[in-house]
Amino acid sequence: MATALLKGVIAYPVTPFDPDTGAVDHTALHHLTDRLVTSGSHAVAPLGSTGESAYLSEAEWDAVCGTVLNTVNGRVPTLVGVAHLTTEGTVRRARVAARHGASAIMVLPQVYWKLTEAELARHYAEVAAATDLPIMLYNNPGTSGIDLLPETIVELARKIPNLTMVKESSGDVARFTTLRELSEGTLSVYNGSNPVALDAFRAGAVGWCTAAPCLVPDWTLQLYTAVICGRDERADAILAELLPFLEFIVGHGLPRAIKAGLQLHNRPAGPPRAPLLPLPDKETQQLRDILDRLESSPHLDGELLTATPHMP
């Protein structure tokens, strides 16, 4: 059984932009990243879809990577999303992440043409050979257009020694168990579908990759710690309160929703970058109501926040 490099709540920061110039706001990014660490996230994962990685120039991408990893400064592990349309671009980003001290990299098959299994295998092999960093394969058919089945993922991992982790965002909870069984426990499996967070942990996921800690860090930690402490009824109660929020941010697009929530919390991160538009006023009010209900809920307390990330 492999020992997981990353465990617990893995927080995904947005990339803040200056509302006047449109440039990356590195001061806001520093403060957001630092808050994710100090509020208890077990790892920080910049430059995924939440971080609008696809809309950054290469110079901006490099600078965001540097700001986040320098801010974290080794306090928790870091997982850098290095997806690019080309293998060459993905390799370049992987090497930049390694130079900045990333703990691991995450690779989504971000494509225009649907790749064959041979093309996927070559892509992952070349990225893996570029650094010594552990790799998390990211399966998100909703954004990539490619659904990597457990059998395909396990076969790739057998050929690529540093492919040791899988982020599964299909929403199919059964895949967590299947991936662990087919790999005989050599692959660590992570959930990237917010609404199934609790079911995923119960099916063997060792971590939850989520943007939710940008707005509700205590709630995400409470859910995780309730699970690992065996408090099933408490975990169910927490999820029941948290689920409307999780469904909202997924349903309205993570960059839009998280940035709107940060504005409501007086921690502005600027607008999303075009072609994305800010969350409309009606939906922003809905988000305000959801956040207000969470803030006044009696289900949140500090009882479990000191639990250490592990799985039984």
Per-residue pLDDT tens digits for 242-294: 999 999 999 999 999 999 999 999 999 999 999 999 999 999 999 999 999 99
206 three-class SS: coil
Classify residue 305: in a domain, yes or no: no
Strand 104-107 versus strand 79-81 pairing type: parallel
CA distances from 301 to 9, 15, 259 (A): 17, 30, 25
Residue of 7, 12, 167, 190 marked active site? 167
Classify residue 95: in a domain, yes or no: yes
CA 259/CA 147 separation, integer angstroms:
28
Per-residue pLDDT tens for 113-168? 888 889 999 999 999 999 999 999 999 987 777 889 999 999 999 999 999 999 99
> What is the domain count for the chain?
1
Question: Does residue 210 contact residue 292 with C-beta atoms inside 8 Å?
Answer: no
The token pair at 246 is: 């999780």
| Residue 190 among the catalytic residues | no
Query: Which CATH number characterizes residue 13's domain?
Result: 3.20.20.70
Write down the pTM of the prediction. Answer: 0.94
Classify residue 12: in a domain, yes or no: yes
CA 53/CA 139 separation, integer angstroms:
16
DSSP secondary structure string for all residues of 220-234? HHHHHHHHHTT-HHH
Strand 79-81 versus strand 188-191 pairing type: unpaired
Classify residue 181: in a domain, yes or no: yes
Domain containing 283 equals 8-295
Classify residue 300: in a domain, yes or no: no
Residue of 138, 190, 224, 259 marked active site? 138
Classify residue 195: in a domain, yes or no: yes
- Residue type, position 290, single letter: I
